[in-house]
Amino acid sequence: MKPSQIKNIQALRGLAALMVLAAHVGAMDAEYGGTAILPDQLRIGVIGVDLFFLISGFVMVHVARRMAPGWRNVLRFAYNRAARIYPLYWIATIAMIVLFFGRAALFGEATETGKLIPSLLLLPQASFPILTVGWTLIYEMYFYLAFALILLAAPRRMPLMLLLWGAIVALGSFAGWTKASPWTELVFSPLTFEFLIGAGIALLIDWTSGKWGAPALAAGAAIVLGQIFFFNDAALAAMVNNQAVRAMTYAPPFALMLYGAAAMERAQGLVLPRWMAATGDASYALYLFHLPAVMVAAKLVSVVLGERGVFDNLAIIALATAGSIVAAFLIYRLIERPALAMTKRLGDRLIAPHDPPLRQERIW
């Protein structure tokens, strides 16, 4: 199964991005409208991030196992990851800065944000980055750096190296080293296990027939639906305040879904709906730009309509959702794809990989 053929992974990316969008639209519904009309359970949509982390681990192993060995290919791997993450993230961050200045100038609404340089470089800091969803990209960049170091070892040692990485993270987490600084909080975060679980599933897919794909996907989806139904303030507080609880609660059902989706496609050629895969293509743009889009939509509705009631809530929900999705697809077509092509050409000149050539695989 070639990387380009995993359409179901793209579909899961689309699902993850839509979950995060739903969570933030629900938050704006409560903040800007009158009485919130969306269910509180939408707040669980933030666990789309956890699904992203599992997918990242899966794709990294899936790509790496099809790489030729050698330090130059590892260097190109690291370049591809950075080229995929940073350019569009910088554009989204600049857009958010402009919106913050505009909101302060026009409405007197100042916003406390993270520091500029750490935010742009995706370095750990005590506060959220300027674009708040960037906190997850800090974890992503850490994952990619650590994984690139693993790739320097012999390919047959990858499972052992992944286990060693997990053991180090577990030791540091149990020892309380996460509390020392933002850097140790990142390095020893229990969320690392979501990435490692995704990596393990990629290995498992290569070692098994995949005949249990459909039942695994159905079981994982059923568990997630149950978690959504019973989600409440206590569950939200546990998720926010304890990363270990978050990983133990939400990684297992997503692991079932990830294995099931990939196994279904490999063993039986079954793919999820095309619209989900198309959304997955634009998922990184949707993830980055939905917050600016939601913020603009909510403020526009509140200014134009003035009075608060059910109608302005509906307007916020419709405009924020549609605006985010349309903006994501336009940005993907007009900005993201050309930028990827440009960085690939630059990478080919600077770091030409050994045969077989590396592909700049999508990681979101």
Select from 142, 157, 141, 158 the least CA-distant residue to 62.
158
Backbone angles phi, psi at 353, to 5 degrees: -75, 155
The span from the CA of 62 to the CA of 59, in Å, is: 5
CA 300 to each of CA 33, 36, 295: distance values in angstroms, whole numbers, following the listed order: 11, 17, 8
Question: Residue 74 CB: number of other CB atoms within 10 A?
Answer: 20
Q: What is the pLDDT of residue 354?
A: 56
Q: Which of 121-125, 208-212, 217-221 has the lowest mean pLDDT?
A: 208-212
CA 62 to each of CA 160, 199, 205, 360: distance values in angstroms, whole numbers, following the listed order: 16, 8, 9, 13
Backbone angles phi, psi at 193, to 5 degrees: -65, -25
- For the CA atoms of 9, 278, 142, 129, the dihedral, rounded to the nearest 10 degrees, stands at -140
CB 191 within 8 A of CB 143: no
Token pair recorded at residue 325: 């999705």
Q: What is the pLDDT of residue 358?
A: 43
Token pair recorded at residue 356: 């077989």
State pLDDT tens for residues 148-202. 999 988 888 999 999 999 999 999 998 989 888 999 999 999 999 999 999 999 9
Domain boundaries, given as residue ranges, for the chain: 3-350
How much of the chain, in percent, has pLDDT values that exceed 90?
64
Contacts of 194 (CB under 8 A, 6+ apart): 50, 53, 54, 57, 247, 251, 254
For 172, which DSSP code? H
Question: Residue 229 CB: number of other CB atoms within 10 A?
Answer: 10
CA 64 to each of CA 137, 160, 254, 282, 348: distance values in angstroms, whole numbers, following the listed order: 20, 15, 22, 23, 18
Q: For 85, how many CA atoms within 13 A lie in the half-sphere containing its CB?
A: 25
How high does pLDDT run on average in the chain?
89
State pLDDT tens for residues 38-71. 888 999 999 999 999 999 999 999 888 777 778 8
Q: Is the pLDDT of residue 108 over 80?
A: no
pTM, two decimal places? 0.92
The span from the CA of 155 to the CA of 101, in Å, is: 49
Question: Helix H segments across the chain?
Answer: 7-32, 48-64, 71-107, 116-121, 134-151, 158-174, 182-187, 192-207, 213-229, 233-241, 243-268, 274-281, 283-305, 310-331, 337-350
State pLDDT tens for residues 303-339. 887 666 778 888 889 999 999 999 999 999 999 999 9
| Cα distance between the two ends of the chain | 19
